[in-house]
Amino acid sequence: MTVSIATLVLGFVIGYLGQRSRLCFVSGYRDFILTHNTTLLKGVVGAFLGALGGYILFSHLGGVIPEFPIFLNVGIGTFRSEWLIMLVGGLGVGIVGVLSGGCPYRMHVLAAEGRKTQWFYLLGFYIGLVFYNLVTVHLMVVIRALL
Amino acid sequence: MSLRQVKVSPFQAGLVLGVGSALVQAYFKVIPPLAYGVCMVCHPRDLFNWIADHLFNLNWNFSMASTNWPVLTVVGVVLGALTAAYLHGELHFRPAQRPLFYFVNGFLMINFGLIIGACPIRIVLLSAYGDFTGVFTWVCIVAGVVLGTWFMRWYARRSVERQPSS
Q: In three state form, how does the secondary structure of chain B look?
A: CCHHHCCCCHHHHHHHHHHHHHHHHHHCCCCCCCCCCCCCCHHHHHHHHHHHHHHHCCCCCCCHHHCCCCCCHHHHHHHHHHHHHHHCCCCCCECCCCHHHHHHHHHHHHHHHHHHCCCHHHHHHHHHCCEHHHHHHHHHHHHHHHHHHHHHHHHHHHHHHHCCCC
Contacts of B129 in chain A (CB under 8 A): 51, 55, 68-70
pLDDT at A75: 52
Lowest mean pLDDT among A39-43, A60-64, A128-132, B72-76: A60-64
Task: For B94-128, write each residue's pLDDT tens digit.
Answer: 998 999 999 999 999 999 999 999 999 999 999 99
Chain mean pLDDT for chain A = 91
With 80 as the cut, is the pLDDT of residue A114 above it? yes
With 90 as the cut, is the pLDDT of residue A10 above it? yes
Alpha carbon separation from B82 to A138, B6, B90 (Å, rounded): 36, 17, 9
Q: Tell me which residues of chain A, numbers 119 to 138, contact chain B at a CB-CB cutoff of 8 Å.
A: 119-129, 131-133, 136-137
Instruction: Give the separation between CA B27 and CA B47, rounded to whole angstroms.
Output: 21
Least CA distance to A39: which residue of chain B? B10
pLDDT at B3: 63
**DSSP assigned state of A78:** G
Share of chain B above pLDDT 90, in %: 68
With 80 as the cut, is the pLDDT of residue A37 above it? yes
Least CA distance to A15: which residue of chain B? B77
CA dihedral B114, B118, B120, B121 (to 10 degrees): 140
Give the other-Cβ count within 10 Å of A69's Cβ.
14
Q: Tell me which residues of chain A, numbers 11 to 40, contact chain B at a CB-CB cutoff of 8 Å.
A: 11-23, 25-26, 28-30, 33-34, 39-40
Q: Do B140 and A122 touch (CB under 8 A)?
A: no
Residue ranges in chain B modelled with pLDDT below 70: 1-4, 165-166
pLDDT at B57: 85
Helix (H) or strand (E) holding A55: helix A39-60
pLDDT at A69: 82
Give the type of residue at A52: L
CA dihedral A101, A103, A104, A109 (to 10 degrees): -70
Average pLDDT of span A124-143 = 93
Instruction: Give the separation between CA A123 and CA B66, rounded to whole angstroms.
Output: 23
Instruction: Give the separation between CA A134 and CA A77, rounded to whole angstroms.
Output: 27
Mutate to test the interface with B, among A8, A20, A61, A139 (most CBs of B within 10 A): A20
Average pLDDT of span A7-32 = 94
CB nearest to A100's CB, from B18, B52, B102? B102
pLDDT at B162: 85
With 70 as the cut, is the pLDDT of residue A119 above it? yes
Average pLDDT of span A92-109 = 95
With 60 as the cut, is the pLDDT of residue A76 above it? no
Q: The complex's ipTM?
A: 0.93
pLDDT at A143: 87
- 3 state SS of A19: helix
Instruction: Give the separation between CA A26 and CA A90, rounded to whole angstroms.
Output: 12
- A102 contacts chain B (CB < 8 A): no
The whole-model pTM stands at 0.93
Q: Omega into A69 within 30° of 0, i.e. cis?
A: yes
Contacts of A46 in chain B (CB under 8 A): 10-15, 17-18
Contacts of B51 in chain A (CB under 8 A): none
Closest of B139, B50, B127, B71 to residue A47, by C-alpha: B127
pLDDT at A128: 96
Average pLDDT of span A50-66 = 92
Average pLDDT of span A78-106 = 90
Mutate to test the interface with A, among B115, B123, B132 (most CBs of A within 10 A): B115
Instruction: Give the separation between CA A73 and CA B135, rounded to whole angstroms.
Output: 11
Q: Give residue A74's pLDDT band: very low, low, confident or very high (50, 70, 90).
A: low
Instruction: Give the separation between CA B90 and CA A115, rounded to whole angstroms.
Output: 11
CB nearest to B60's CB, from A19, A107, A133? A133
Instruction: Give the separation between CA B48 and CA B120, rounded to whole angstroms.
Output: 20
Share of chain A above pLDDT 90, in %: 76
Q: How far is CA A42 from the centre of its chain?
A: 16
Closest of B153, B15, B159 to residue A33, by C-alpha: B153
CB nearest to A20's CB, from B8, B92, B149? B8
Q: Do B124 and A64 touch (CB under 8 A)?
A: no
Looking at the complex, report in whole angstroms how far the Cα of residue A139 sits from the nearest Cα belonging to chain B: 10
Q: Give residue A67's pLDDT band: very low, low, confident or very high (50, 70, 90).
A: confident
